[in-house]
A and B are shown apart, each in its own frame.
Chain A
Amino acid sequence: MKIAVCVKQVPDATAARRMDASTKRLDRSGEGALNATDVNAVEEALRIKEARGGEVMVVSFGPAKAMESLRKALAMGADRAVLVTDDAATGSDLLATSYALAQVLERESADLILFGQQSSDADGAVLWAAVADRLRRPLVSQVAALTVEEGAVVGKRQTEFGYDVIRAPLPAVVAVSDAINEPRYPSLKGIMTAKSKPQETLSLADAGIAADRVGVAGSRTTVLALEPPAAKGGQVKIEDDGTAAEKIVEYLADKRLL
């Protein structure tokens, strides 16, 4: 079974993140890391491969240095990495990114396409649905437990209203939640062998992606301005002297919350 995992490089969680005031885009110049919840998707792909055989590839659309982060997936056990990178693609929004990924995925014709739960930089948790629509494939999202059957996947997920179990025939697009598994750490051997695994960097033209459908030209959302968040005032902090509960009631009554 061929599994393609769509992943993203994001700014490292330990580094301070900032928006670039001139471009109004996220400053990606610092240390990058594989988006944390994408690691769950890679882990799930590896488990399926270990149980059923096949190939796991990771696919990304981003800056050239994103390959450093894709190597983590290779070190975990993925077989190869494909990165589509091009200066003309900078500033791609959901529409442009879903188009570009769909173009690459179409050529790879994987049986199963996996996504992680959310990007930590853009807080996006929607890309899979746009990609599934472009590829005209069934979708199961927010999956917390995944079973692969002959020719189908069955995903269990949690919604606001309870648990759903959804079955979709393959080929399918599945987005997993970070509750699905505990990802492995790359072994030393994994890290060493990652370097020699296939790592393909494609330009837009290489990947059959029309330049006017990505980047700013291909995007239909824009960032107009950046503002500091609304400041909160009037904070009170007290130490319990035995009457804290009374003080909370008083405070809530004062705010008309009781």
Chain B
Amino acid sequence: MRTLVFCEHHGGELTKGSLGLLAKAASLGETAAVILGSGVGGLADAAGRHGAATVYVVDDPALRSPLPQPRVDALAAVVERAGADNVLFAASVLAADVAAGLAARIEAGLNWDVIDLVVQSGELVAKRPALGDTVLVDCGWTTTPRLALIRSGTFDPVETGGMAEVEKVEVSFEDFSTQAQLVEHTFEESAGPSIEDADVIVAGGRGLGAPEGFALCEDLAAALGGAVAATRAVVDAGWYPYSTQVGQTGKSVSPKLYIALGISGAIQHKVGMQGSGVIVAVNKDPHAPIFDFADLGVVGDLHQIAPRLAELVRARKG
């Protein structure tokens, strides 16, 4: 089975999600990476080290901005050349639009929100949680190439130390594809890792009491080397930026450790974080729904517990 992985990059590095997907693809068979951008040839080595045997590079000024439509043109050309059975995308704002645009362009089936890919009776099957993760759906495709968007943080990158063969591909762009133009791009400065890439997330909700309460989350996250996330309620209230929102209308994350401070655990939040490895919840309401799915639930005052916890973690780490 020949799998092509769309490798997204940012700031001169391939995203962790894309590298993780290369590892998954390599477990399914022959693996190739696609890197699209302007001045991105140097990223091919990293794809090779993480499991790609071939890297297709489309290096073109039309791909400088992180916009989807010229990427659909480029990817359609690469898919045709590579003859891929599967094309995988680590879910992101950009990747979702590229995947769906490609699906329409080449009339290929797309399954999204996939948390695993398995081969059953010779056929690729995508596992996808649905209806607020109350049911796990086995999804298939009736034709190839099969397209899939994989939930962020699902697979960890594995360094294989391999060397990829690099193939440069020239493509032409559709008129409509380059009509949308990026006129401004502002990086969001954050001290720690982004919530999609973080192994540890400390998330805050209404129970923090006030916007200033996020200082507790930030301090604990700093001690643990993690990132800070927020619930929709506090983002709506303007306590914390939308980019940190986890949940149905925010981001889906699956860190190794998720510490929820003052979060009730409404379904809208739950669907964005229940894939986390270990969930620790601190809430003063013993009946908060989050205790139904937290691995360790602590009924207590987060204002007492969080600072002490940060202190203990720091002491332990020396």
Choose among A125, A245, A257 the residue that contacts B257 (Cβ–Cβ < 8 A). Answer: A257
Interface string of B286-302 (1 = CB under 8 A from A): 10000101111111110
- Collect the chain A residues with CB atoms within 8 Å of residue B175's CB: 136
Choose among B109, B131, B301 the residue that contacts A220 (Cβ–Cβ < 8 A). Answer: B109
Kindly state the separation between the CA atoms of A235 and B92 in the bound complex, as whole angstroms: 31
CB <8 Å contact, A245 and B138: no
Segment with Cβ contacts to B, from A57-65, A104-112, A162-170, A183-191? A162-170
CB <8 Å contact, B134 and A94: no
- Collect the chain A residues with CB atoms within 8 Å of residue B72's CB: 133
Q: Cβ of A85 < 8 Å from any Cβ of B?
A: no
Kindly state the separation between the CA atoms of A98 and B103 in the bound complex, as whole angstroms: 10
CB <8 Å contact, B67 and A166: yes
CB <8 Å contact, A159 and B93: yes
Kindly state the separation between the CA atoms of A124 and B113 in the bound complex, as whole angstroms: 8
Interface residues on A, range: 35 or more
User: Given known contacts A236-B297, A237-B291, is B93 in contact with A133 (CB within 8 Å)?
Assistant: no
Closest residue of chain B to A120 (Cβ to Cβ) is: B248
A-B contact count (CB 8 A): 265
Within 8 A of B (CB), among A122-175: 122-134, 136-142, 144, 154, 157-169, 172
CB <8 Å contact, B141 and A221: yes
Closest residue of chain B to A36 (Cβ to Cβ) is: B249
CB <8 Å contact, A166 and B182: yes
Kindly state the separation between the CA atoms of A240 and B300 in the bound complex, as whole angstroms: 5
Q: Cβ of A19 < 8 Å from any Cβ of B?
A: yes
Segment with Cβ contacts to A, from B159-167, B203-211, B305-313? B305-313
Kindly state the separation between the CA atoms of A255 and B298 in the bound complex, as whole angstroms: 17
CB <8 Å contact, A228 and B136: yes
- How far does the Cβ of B84 sit from chain A's closest Cβ, in whole Å? 15
- Collect the chain A residues with CB atoms within 8 Å of residue B69's CB: 132-133, 138-139
- Collect the chain A residues with CB atoms within 8 Å of residue B101's CB: 129-130, 132-133, 139
Segment with Cβ contacts to B, from A67-75, A76-84, A246-254? A246-254
Q: Cβ of A51 < 8 Å from any Cβ of B?
A: no
Q: Cβ of B280 < 8 Å from any Cβ of A?
A: yes
- How far does the Cβ of B246 sit from chain A's closest Cβ, in whole Å? 13
Interface of B, secondary structure class, is: mixed
Kindly state the separation between the CA atoms of A177 and B129 in the bound complex, as whole angstroms: 22
CB <8 Å contact, B243 and A158: yes
User: Given known contacts A221-B141, A228-B135, A248-B280, is B103 in contact with A159 (CB within 8 Å)?
Assistant: no
Interface string of B250-264 (1 = CB under 8 A from A): 010000110000000
Choose among A178, A222, A229 the residue that contacts B133 (Cβ–Cβ < 8 A). Answer: A229
CB <8 Å contact, A237 and B299: yes
Q: Cβ of A205 < 8 Å from any Cβ of B?
A: no
Choose among B110, B141, B278 the residue that contacts A255 (Cβ–Cβ < 8 A). Answer: B278
Kindly state the separation between the CA atoms of A127 and B112 in the bound complex, as whole angstroms: 11
Choose among A219, A229, A244, A252 the residue that contacts B300 (Cβ–Cβ < 8 A). Answer: A244
> Can you identify 7 A-B contacts, CB atoms within 8 angstroms?
A132-B69, A139-B101, A164-B184, A220-B108, A223-B140, A252-B257, A258-B313
Which A residues fall within an 8 A CB radius of B? 17-19, 24, 26, 37, 93-95, 98-99, 117-118, 120-134, 136-142, 144, 154, 157-169, 172, 177-179, 219-230, 232, 234-240, 244-249, 251-253, 255, 257-258
